[in-house]
Structure formats: structure tokens, C-alpha cells
Structure 1
Amino acid sequence: MSTVFISPSKYVQGPNEMDNIGSYTKQLGKKALCLISKGGYKRQGNQIEKSFEKNEVQVVFDYFNGECSKNEINRLKEIVKENQCDVMIGVGGGKIFDTAKAVAYYCQIPVIVAPTIASTDAPCSALSVIYSDEGVFEEYLFLPSNPNLVLMDTDIIAKSPVRLTVAGMGDAMATYFEARACYKSGALTCAGGKVGVAALGIAKLCFDTLIEEGPKARVALDVGACTKSVEKIIEANTLLSGIGFESGGLAGAHAIHNGLTVLEECHSMNHGEKVNFGTLTQLVLENIKEEELNYVLSWMVSVGLPVTLEQLGIEDTSREHLMPVAIAACAENDTLHNMPFEVNPEMVYNAMLAADAYGRKKIGLF
């Protein structure tokens, strides 16, 4: 099997870049459908409209319904056709990006992803995560190409809720450990091949950047400051993690995240927060050295990521309540099977309990 490396066609990151979205769109088409939340439109709608007017490009706005579901994708496909749009734009967060990418794929038009938060590595990927209308994970939709443009306005992102950027760090922290597992097992990645040294190197750079810049960025973000550390974390959360997970592969952390989606009490938690606990659980499954586990766990606590089941909203830790999570994580088509050893639901259940205990001990509750 060959190694495969993929990435977005163009990645732009800097202050006030949303002012240029009309110019970038003009290079791809004449009329765009812009998928955005109602709150997002109140904050950035006027800025986007001005950019389109300045560049004499048309834009149609539509509000996101809240889930990247098949019903939402089909609804937006019809809007693209009705308005004869030739470019798709997603402005906001991860589920908006995934929906925009899926719609662009089915309508065979280019797509621009313009995050207003840095909470996931979804922007750069040729992948959409499909959920039910109720928010339960259903499947991965693998796309033939990455976004045509990823546009990161760091001024906007630095002023977004701190919890979201921290959640992005949780999502990004999984990148190296999952790539490392896939490299050891020779697993097939989202890019359609084995892990190469370039992808593994980017995943490791993502890890190193998070460790070095994460705690400093957290302090700056608390006061809405866009420092060099914040810029580096935005890039790690988005570009390094995006390329790292896609060409480096997914393993235990994201599969355990998918398992956690079966619990209704976890639906209010951000993707990266659940992935972070999945990372901790994966490291327990791997039985890594205590020194490494404490090192990573200390970092998680320092930036404010959840490390216990209670912090994820899970009060019932009985076998009856948690075993469905473990069973879902081990689904035949999920990425837990990319680990370099065989994993079963019993192992996952026990690893989750131990991860929770390690987390409680670290924060002084055990």
C-alpha cells in the first residue's frame, strides 16, 4: 500500500482576512451560497456583504439548522440549484464546514471554509462527519478533494469564546497519538494510504506546538489578545491538526468520541472536549509510561480541557451506562480498529474508568 498526503489547495491566516472573502470567491465563481448561523450573520454578515459588493460578486445567505445531517445537506442542495450558485461557503464552526463541504461535493462546485472559531481540525479536511438530526454520529463521508480555500481571520477567532479554542486544542492533541498508532499498525488513513513521514512529522509538530504554546495562548485568550502564541495555536488547531489527522490517520481517540455521542448528556460538550477524553482513554489502552501519561495529563489540565467523566457531564458511571459507549466505539466501521493491537468493548470500558480515575487524581478529586 502506498503513502498518500493531501491538503487544502490554499490556506490563508491573518488579521482582517474576512474583509477579503469576496476577492477570494471571485477567483472561483460568480455567485456563492454562504452557510452561516443566525448569530454568525449578526456578527460577520455585514463584513461579508461589503466584501462581496466591493468585488462585484453575488452572495446568498442561508442559516444553518444545527446538525450536519443528510436532511440538512439535501435541503441546501436544493437552495444551491434554485439560486444557481457556483461556489459554496461555510462560515462558523465545524458542523457548518462539514455541511458546506458535503453540499459542494454533491453539487460539484468549489468550497471555501471560513472559520470564526478554531475549535476543530475540520476546516482543512476532505471529510464530512455525518450525524442524525438528533446529533448522534452516523458515518464519515470521504470527499474526493480538500477545500479550495481555508480562510482564517485571527482577529475574529481570538475574540471567540475561549472554551472553543481550548476545545480545538483537545481535538489537535489527539493528532499525534492517533497518527503514531496508525503508523505502527500500517492502517489506512483518511487520505487513502499509509502514514508517510511527512504526515507523521506534521502531527508531531502539532503536538510540540500545543505543548509549548498552549498554556501561554490560554492566558492571552482569556483577555481576548491575539498574540504570537494564539496565532500558532490557531494554526496548530486548524492546519497542522487538519493535515496531520487526515494523512496521519484516526485511531482510538476519535472512535471513543463517537461512542460518547450515544450519551445524551454529552451532546452539550464540544467535539474537541470529547476527543480529549478519548485521547486520555487511548493512552491508557496503550499502557504508555506513567511519566508520559502525567506529562500529557498535566498539559490538558493546564489549558482547561476536561479529563474526567463528570467534566463531560456524565454522572452515571455504572457499567450499564458506559458499556454502550464502549460498544459504539468498537463499531466495525470505526477507527478504533486502526490501533496496533486488537481492542474490544471490555477493554475500552475499563480504559475509560481508569482514564477517569487518572483525571480525578490529577485535579485532586481522587
Structure 2
Amino acid sequence: MLSVFASPSKYIQGQQAMKEGIPYIKELGSCALLLSDDMVYDIVGKEFEKELIAQDVAVCYARFNGGATLSEINRIQEVAKKEQIDLVIGLGGGQTIDVAKAISNHLEKAVVIVPTTASTDAPTSSISVVYTDEGLFDHYIYYKKHPDLVLVDTTVISKAPVKLLISGIADALSTWVEGRSIIERGESTLMQGVPTLAAEAIAEKCEKVLFEEGLQAVAANEAKIVTPSLEAVIEANTLLSGIGFECCGLAAAHSIHNGFSALSGEVQRLTHGEKVAYGTLTQLVLEKRPKKELDRFIDFYQKLGLPTTLDELYLDKTDTDELLKISLQATKPGETIHKLSPNIKAEEVMNALLFVDTYVKKYF
């Protein structure tokens, strides 16, 4: 099997990047479809649009109504077809970004990703996560190319809700846990190859940065200031995790996240990263990783206020029907949890979910 490494064509990060980075956007086109939701547009989008126009980039604003669904993708595609655009700019969070990638792929135009939070590693990837109209995970869309430009304004992100940065840290902390399991088992990555040494180093560095700088970054975000720690964690959440998960691969943590989509109710109030966090703990148990490593993750998660028990996921450990639904969804054919073991059973996952809850309540 070949080794495969892939990444966005260009990644730019820093304070005031949404102003100072526009010359890089102009290298890709002069008429942009700007996609964002109303809230993001009001907070930063209007000013960004003015700056684009001031620097000779024409703008057509398209409102994102929320939800990376096929119906929303199709709706915006019809809007975009009526305009003479040569690039798509996705401004906002993970679902806005995923829809922007889908639109640019359909129209065969360049795509610029401008995340307004560091809550996911979606900005750098060549993947979109698609949900049903009811909000359940549906499928992934894989693209032949990565974003042409990822523009990360740390001034903007420093003013975003702290909960979103913490969610991004949780998501990114799964990168090395999952990637390591792929490397050790000789499995293929999302790039349909084996991990390169570069990808392995990036994924491992991602975890190192988060454990070393995560708490300081959260404090900076709470103060709404940009510090070296915040810059480092934003890069880890976005670039290092983005390259790491694609080029090293996913395993159990994200399958368990997908498993939660089988349920309705309060669990769906949780962020992507909060669900992945519990999935990461569950993977560490499934792999029988050393107690010291499991304890390190639990302690760090608790300092960040991330869920480490079923109660914090709004789940009842005595409701075995719900836990089995999660586990059956997580072990469906095609889920990446089978990279751990092709014969893994839903009952094993359910037992691991319960073990994490019991262990944390007893010893933490």
C-alpha cells in the first residue's frame, strides 16, 4: 500500500488575517460567493465583505440556514449558479465550512475557508460531513482536492465562545489516539494509503501541544486576548488535527460520536468535540491502553469541563436500550471502529461505555 499525504494548498494564520490575508484570496479569483449564517455575518461577515470589496473582490452573499444537509447544499447550489463567481468563501463553523466545500466542488471553483472558531478540524480537510434533515449523521462526502486556502484570524477566534475552543481541543485530542491505532495495525487512512512519517509527527505533535498549552489557551480565550498559547492551540485544533486525522486515520472515537446520532433528546445539545471526548476515553478502554494514559485524559477533560460520565452526556447507565442503540450505530458496516478490530461487537462498545462511567465515578 502506498503512503499518502495531503493538505490544503495554503494555510495562513494570525491576528487580523481576514484583512491582511485578502491578497491571497485575490490570487484565486475576483468574484466570491460568501457563505455564512446570519449570526456570523452580523458579527464579522459584514466587515469582511466591506474589506473584500475595498480590495477589489466582488461579493455575492449567500445565507446559510444551518445544517449541512443535502437539501441545504442543493438550495445554495441553485443560488450560486445564478451568479458569475470564480470562488467560494465559507465563513463560520464546521457545518458552514462543509457546505462551502460541497458547493465549490459542484461548481468546480476555488474554495477559501475562513473559520470563526477553532472548534473542529473541518477547515483543512477534503471531507464534508452530511446530516439528515432531522440532524442525524448521514454520510461523508470525499473530494479530490483540499481547500485552496485556509485563512485563520486569531483575533476573531479569541472572541468566540470558550466552549467552542474547548470542543475543538476535545476533537483534536482524538487525532493521535485514533491515528496511532491505525499506524500500529497497518490500516489504511482516509486518504486510502498508509500514514507518512510527516503525518505521524503532525498527529503526535497535535496531542503534545494540547496537553502543554491547552489550559493557558482557554484562559486567553476567556480574557479575549491572543497569546502564543492560544495561537498554538488554534493551529493544533485546525491544521495539525486536520492533517492528522485525514492522513493518519480515524478509528473508534469518531464512530462512537456517530453512534450518539442514533439518539434524540438532550445528548444532541452536546458539541461534536464533547461527544468525541467520551468516544476517545472509550477507545482507550477498548484498546486496553495503560491506566496512566486513561487517567491523564480524564484529568485533563475534567479541568476543561468535558464530559467523562454518562450523566454528563444526559444518558442513564441503566437504560441499556439507549446504550445498545449507540453501540449498534457505532459498529455499523463501514464505520472506522472496525479499524481496531474487524469483528468488534456492539456489546463490547456498550461495555466500554459503561466502564468509563463507572471508573470515573469511582476514582475521580
Query: TM-score by structure 2 length?
Result: 0.96
Alpha-carbon displacement from aligned partner over 1:175-207 (angstroms, at most 9, x marks no partner): 001001111222221112112221111111001
Please identify runs of 4+ aligned residues in structure 1 that moved more than 4 A: none
The one-letter amino acid of 2:234's match is: I
State the shift of 1:306 in Å: 1.4
2:62, 2:7 → 1: CA distance? 27
User: Equivalent residue for 2:166?
Assistant: 166
1:62, 1:359 → 2: CA distance? 46
* Partner secondary structure for residue 236 of structure 1: helix
User: Equivalent residue for 1:272?
Assistant: 273
* Partner secondary structure for residue 146 of structure 1: coil
Aligned 1:283-302 pairs, distance under 5 A: 283-302=284-303
Task: Determine what percentage of the aligned residue pairs are the same residue.
Answer: 43
State the shift of 1:341 in Å: 6.1
* Partner secondary structure for residue 35 of structure 1: strand
CA contact (8 A) 1:255 1:336 kept: yes
The one-letter amino acid of 1:360's match is: K
State the shift of 1:85 in Å: 1.7
The one-letter amino acid of 1:184's match is: E
Alpha-carbon displacement from aligned partner over 1:211-265 (angstroms, at most 9, x marks no partner): 1001221222222222111111000000000000000100000000000112122
* Partner secondary structure for residue 151 of structure 1: strand
CA contact (8 A) 1:34 1:91 kept: yes
After alignment, is 315-324 or 70-79 more displaced? 315-324
User: Equivalent residue for 2:240?
Assistant: 240
The one-letter amino acid of 1:354's match is: F
The one-letter amino acid of 2:54's match is: K
State the shift of 1:52 in Å: 1.5
* Partner secondary structure for residue 117 of structure 2: coil
User: Equivalent residue for 1:344?
Assistant: 345
After alignment, is 191-200 or 33-42 more displaced? 191-200
The one-letter amino acid of 1:26's match is: K
CA contact (8 A) 2:317 2:354 kept: no
State the shift of 1:155 in Å: 0.7
Matched, 1:142 2:142: yes
Matched, 1:84 2:84: yes
CA contact (8 A) 2:53 2:59 kept: no
1:224, 1:146 → 2: CA distance? 31
CA contact (8 A) 1:35 1:89 kept: yes
User: Equivalent residue for 2:152?
Assistant: 152
Matched, 1:218 2:214: no
Q: 1:362 to 1:211 in 2, by over 3 A?
A: farther
The one-letter amino acid of 1:120's match is: T
State the shift of 1:302 in Å: 1.6
After alignment, is 269-278 or 288-297 more displaced? 288-297
State the shift of 1:46 in Å: 2.5
State the shift of 1:141 in Å: 0.8
User: Aligned-pair RMSD on alpha carbons?
Assistant: 1.4
Alignment: residue pair count = 363
Aligned 1:354-365 pairs, distance under 5 A: 354-361=355-362, 363=364
Aligned 1:104-115 pairs, distance under 5 A: 104-115=104-115
After alignment, is 351-360 or 155-164 more displaced? 351-360
The one-letter amino acid of 2:348's match is: M
The one-letter amino acid of 1:234's match is: I
After alignment, is 228-237 or 63-72 more displaced? 63-72
CA contact (8 A) 1:185 1:340 kept: no
Aligned 1:59-98 pairs, distance under 5 A: 59-98=59-98
1:62, 1:144 → 2: CA distance? 24
CA contact (8 A) 1:167 1:272 kept: yes
Unmatched 5+ residue regions in structure 2? none
User: Equivalent residue for 2:333?
Assistant: 332
State the shift of 1:14 in Å: 0.2
The one-letter amino acid of 2:283's match is: Q
* Partner secondary structure for residue 269 of structure 2: coil
Alpha-carbon displacement from aligned partner over 1:132-170 (angstroms, at most 9, x marks no partner): 111101111111011001111001101100000000000
After alignment, is 125-134 or 24-33 more displaced? 24-33
1:343, 1:166 → 2: CA distance? 30
2:311, 2:221 → 1: CA distance? 25
1:132, 1:6 → 2: CA distance? 28
* Partner secondary structure for residue 245 of structure 2: helix
The one-letter amino acid of 1:73's match is: I
2:318, 2:273 → 1: CA distance? 21
2:158, 2:318 → 1: CA distance? 36
Q: 1:317 to 1:116 in 2, by over 3 A?
A: farther
2:46, 2:322 → 1: CA distance? 47
Unmatched 5+ residue regions in structure 1? none
2:238, 2:101 → 1: CA distance? 16
Alpha-carbon displacement from aligned partner over 1:287-310 (angstroms, at most 9, x marks no partner): 111111111211111222211222
The one-letter amino acid of 1:2's match is: L
* Partner secondary structure for residue 82 of structure 2: helix
After alignment, is 184-193 or 308-317 more displaced? 308-317
CA contact (8 A) 2:110 2:147 kept: yes
